[in-house]
Structures are given as C-alpha cells and as structure tokens.
Amino acid sequence: MWIDLAYSLSQGRDRTMTRRAARIVELLEARGADDSVREVRFEQLTDVIPEGNLIEVFDGRGKRVLPRYPKAPDFPWPALTRLPASGQFGNVDYNGRVFRLYRHPHPPYVILVAGQLEDNRNMMARFTAGLAWATPAMLVLCAVAGYFLNRRALQPVDQITAMLRSISIGNLSQRLPVANTRDELRRLAETCNEMLGRLEDAVERINRFTADASHELRSPVALIRTVAEYALRNPKVDAESKEAFEEILAESVETSQLLEDMLTLARADAGYGNPVFEAVDLSQLVEDAAARQRPLADAKQQTVTVRTSGPAWISGDRSSLRRLVWILLDNAVKYTPAQGSIVLGLMATPSEAVLTVHDSGIGIPEELLPRIFDRFVRADPSRGEVNGTGLGLAIAKWIAGAHHAKLSVQSREREGSVFRVEFALLRNTE
Ligand code: ADP
C-alpha cells in the first residue's frame, strides 16, 4: 500500500505538470493572439492553479516570454534550463522546500513547470504514521482472531487425540467419528480409522494363531502325559527310566496348564467365550473353593479360614467366577510356606460384595506390584517359588473385568498378600 501510494502520488504529480505544459503550448500556439492576449490568458491560467505550482516560459536566449510569475519572483528558473535534455523531470530546493520540475522544450521556447512536493510528502508522512499504529493494532487483532479461529478449527484434532488415546488393544474395534466435511481432518480421521482396521485385523490374526496353536498343541501334550503315566504304571520300569518319566509327566502337566491358560486368554482377546451371566451366590462359590483347596493346604499344614457374611448374589458367569476364586486361593496356598494361614473372606456391603484372599505368605516384591496382573509376570525364581505359568493373575484380571469388578492387591514381602475383588451386588435377589 505504501509503495503503491508513493508511486501513484508521484505519477499523478508528473501527469499534472505534463498537462499544464500542454496548456501552455496551446496558449503559445493560439492563432491571432498577440503578446497582450497571451499575457492575460497566462495570468488566467496561473490564477486557477493551486498554490505551490509555478510556470515560466523562456525563449531560446533565456529571456522570459511571459511575465515573471508573481508568486515566486526569485525562483531559480535560469539554473533549471540546464536540466539534461533526456531527463525532463527533476527536483530542486527552493526556500527550504522541494519542488518537482518539468522542462518541456517547445522550440523556440522552453516551458518550465514546477510543483511543490510538500503536499505529497505530508500525505506520505501521515500515511506512514497511520501505518505505524494501524499495523501493530491489526497484528494484535489478527493474532487474537487467529488464536480463537485456530482453537475452533483444531477442536476436532483434540477430539481425535483424546479418542486415539483411549484406544488400546482391548477396544481396537472403536472408530473415530468422521466429519461431514471435505478437509484434512476428515482425511486424518479416515486414515486413522483405516489404520485401526488394519491393526484390528492383525491383532485378530495373532489371537487366532495363539488360540489355534494352543488348541493344536493340547492333544500331543495330552498324549505325552498319557504315555508317561502309562509307562510309570509298568512295574518293570527301572529306577532311572522312572525318574525320567516322572520328569516328563511333571513337565507335560505344566505344559498342558500353560496351553489351557494361553487358550483362555487368546479366546478372551478374540472375544470368544464371553461369560454367560446368571445370578450367582458368591458365598457358595467361596465355600466350594475352600473345600477343594483344603487337601492341598492340609498337605502344607496351612489353616484355611472362610469368613462370609451370608449369601452375596451377583450377576456373573459361574465357571469363570469359580476359576477366579480358585486362582487366588491356589496362589495363596502355593506362595505361603508350610504352617501359614489363609483367610478367605466375603463381605457384603449395601451395594457391593467384596471377596478377599488373605495369606501370610512370601508376599510380592514392591517393584512387581504394578505389573503383577500382566501376562507371564512372575517374581524372581530365586525366591524358590513353585512352578506356575505366570498367566493365572492375568486370567483373574480378565474375569474380574468381564464382571465389571475391581481386582486389586496389597502385599508386603515376607508378610503376606491380600487380593481383593469388588463386585456390584445384584438387586432384587429374592
Ligand atoms: P503363577 O502363579 O502361575 O506363576 P500367577 O499369574 O498366578 O502365575 O502369579 C504371578 C506371580 O505373582 C507369581 O509367580 C508369584 O510370584 C506372584 N504371586 C501371585 N499370588 C501370590 C501370593 N498370594 N503371594 C505371593 N506371590 C504371589
């Protein structure tokens, strides 16, 4: 804008001066006009031009053809006749002001038109001053408007980010909402959805593979176990072979357990084997689990105490819940030394049934507690622990999750552990 205005003003100035020179040429060429008529017309012409504009006409010898221009008697005209012929325009200082000068040769005359540049300069100065405050003000305005516009425009990005953050391996089937626009955000949401689709496919394939592999391996492992058991029943088997067969049997029992657990989790991941919900009395399950576990506890001379506050009905899958109680109780027996004590509790509050498995066992190292429900997490084997797959608590976590129950643990090494599952009580159980 500044450059355009400066250019337009200077062009306008030069054009006006060229036009004035053309009027003088007309005046000089007017037929039948003698000098006195010309003088009158020249005066008329100079009377109407605004202040700060000067005109003179010289003949070839440097003598004024028209009367001295009265408004600037001492304007340095003669010096101006020396302007280079090619450069018809130039600037000159007069009385501390800058004048634009136009020299128009019109043989035998030289017409000189001068115009003050002050007005143009004042206008440019005012414009520059205006720009000096308007530009920062506009910048501030644009920045504020830009900030709010940006926030509005980027709101969908925030939503996409929040949604993507909430997606994990467990809910890969979720999709981002796709806006009904034709912009980059729509493409971003669509691309993310395509990526989620591909991830979901890949995870599903891995789950299926794990499930299939565990399933396929069950039969050969079962066969190995049967053969080992059969061989052990043979009275003619020698001591060395017996030891080997016992080892094979123990390993195959453990491997079948591992395969069962892997299959359970792979099916859970793949969404198969979703629990079938019915009204279940947890107190009954707790009593049953304690009764089944008692022989193992007795073998270690452990005391198993059951404390229930009466029936506690919840909505759940009976066999999964049985497995959950079994995993926790089995761990309590496994990880509690001989003569330790285990308390199986069930407390019903007005809204919840709280199952607790308390043992006086070896406890869980503090650094392991945050990961204890992850798959294949087992404490340092040097603690002399019994065999296990490291998948029991992961299955327990999945069962609790499927029942919208909260499974937590508190434990101190060498003091014992308390596993706690909080179920929502079933209403209207009569
Ligand atoms: P597993 O018992 O087959 O190793 P789990 O997932 O059931 O697998 O348990 C994971 C690990 O958590 C165990 O290896 C053990 O170190 C620890 N743990 C579980 N329950 C207890 C408990 N009651 N007391 C001490 N450690 C426990």
CATH code of the domain containing 393:
3.30.565.10
Q: Is residue 143 assigned to a domain?
A: no
Q: Is residue 336 assigned to a domain?
A: yes
62 and 84 assigned to the same domain: yes
With a pLDDT cut of 90, the percent of the chain lying above it is: 53
303 and 368 assigned to the same domain: yes
SS3 81: coil
Q: Is residue 20 assigned to a domain?
A: yes
- Among 251, 270, 289, identify where a domain stops: 270
pLDDT for the residue numbered 78 = 57
C-alpha–C-alpha distance, residues 52 and 29, integer Å: 26
381 and 284 assigned to the same domain: yes
CATH code of the domain in which 219 resides:
1.10.287.130
Q: Is residue 298 assigned to a domain?
A: yes
- Among 70, 89, 116, identify where a domain stops: 116
C-alpha–C-alpha distance, residues 151 and 171, integer Å: 29
What angle (nearest 5°) sits at the alpha carbon of residue 231, between those of residues 230 and 236?
125
- Average the pLDDT over each of 47-56, 144-153, 283-292 and give the range with the smallest value: 47-56
219 and 346 assigned to the same domain: no
266 and 331 assigned to the same domain: no
**Mean per-residue pLDDT of the chain:** 87
Give the pLDDT band (50/70/90) at residue 153: confident
CA of 312 to the centre of ligand 1 (A): 27
- Closest residue by CA, ligand 1 atom 11: 378
Residue 99 has what DSSP assignment?
E
Name the token pair of 342.
């285990």
Taking CA atoms, 65 is separated from 15, 38, 183, 303, in Å, by: 24, 10, 75, 136
pLDDT for the residue numbered 325 = 96
CA of 335 to the centre of ligand 1 (A): 7
Name the token pair of 258.
């591992």
CA of 311 to the centre of ligand 1 (A): 29
- Closest residue by CA, ligand 1 atom 2: 388
Q: Is residue 121 assigned to a domain?
A: no
- Closest residue by CA, ligand 1 atom 19: 331
Q: Is residue 393 assigned to a domain?
A: yes
413 and 296 assigned to the same domain: yes
- Average the pLDDT over each of 123-127, 134-138, 151-155, 283-287 and give the range with the smallest value: 151-155
Q: Which residue did the predictor score with more confidence, 417 or 274?
A: 417
Is 395 a pocket residue for ligand 1 (Cβ < 6 Å)? Answer: no
C-alpha–C-alpha distance, residues 331 and 344, integer Å: 12
Question: For 39-71, what is each residue's pLDDT tens digit?
Answer: 777 777 777 777 667 787 877 777 777 665 556
Does the structure show a pLDDT above 90 at 211?
A: no
297 and 417 assigned to the same domain: yes
Is 364 a pocket residue for ligand 1 (Cβ < 6 Å)? Answer: yes
Q: Is residue 176 assigned to a domain?
A: no
pLDDT for the residue numbered 430 = 46
Is 115 a pocket residue for ligand 1 (Cβ < 6 Å)? Answer: no
CATH code of the domain in which 30 resides:
3.30.450.20
370 and 247 assigned to the same domain: no
C-alpha–C-alpha distance, residues 87 and 83, integer Å: 7
Name the token pair of 222.
């079962």
CA of 139 to the centre of ligand 1 (A): 64
> Residue range 400-424: average pLDDT?
95
Is 396 a pocket residue for ligand 1 (Cβ < 6 Å)? Answer: no
C-alpha–C-alpha distance, residues 368 and 407, integer Å: 16
Residue range of the domain that includes 95: 2-116
C-alpha–C-alpha distance, residues 27 and 409, integer Å: 111
81 and 53 assigned to the same domain: yes
Give the pLDDT band (50/70/90) at residue 251: very high
**Total domains, the chain:** 3
With a pLDDT cut of 70, the percent of the chain lying above it is: 91
SS3 53: strand
SS3 168: coil
- Closest residue by CA, ligand 1 atom 16: 379
Helix 2-29, helix 118-166: angle, nearest 10: 150
115 phi and psi, to 5 degrees? -140, 135
316 and 415 assigned to the same domain: yes
- Average the pLDDT over each of 104-113, 127-136, 191-200, 218-227 and give the range with the smallest value: 104-113
Is 388 a pocket residue for ligand 1 (Cβ < 6 Å)? Answer: yes
Best probe residue, ligand 1, of 261, 265, 293, 335 (max atoms within 8 Å of C-beta): 335
- Among 229, 248, 270, identify where a domain stops: 270
72 and 108 assigned to the same domain: yes
Instruction: Let me know: does 104 contact 89? Beta carbons within 8 Å.
Output: no
356 phi and psi, to 5 degrees? -130, 140
108 and 31 assigned to the same domain: yes
Q: Is residue 194 assigned to a domain?
A: yes
Q: Which residue did the predictor score with more confidence, 131 or 153?
A: 131
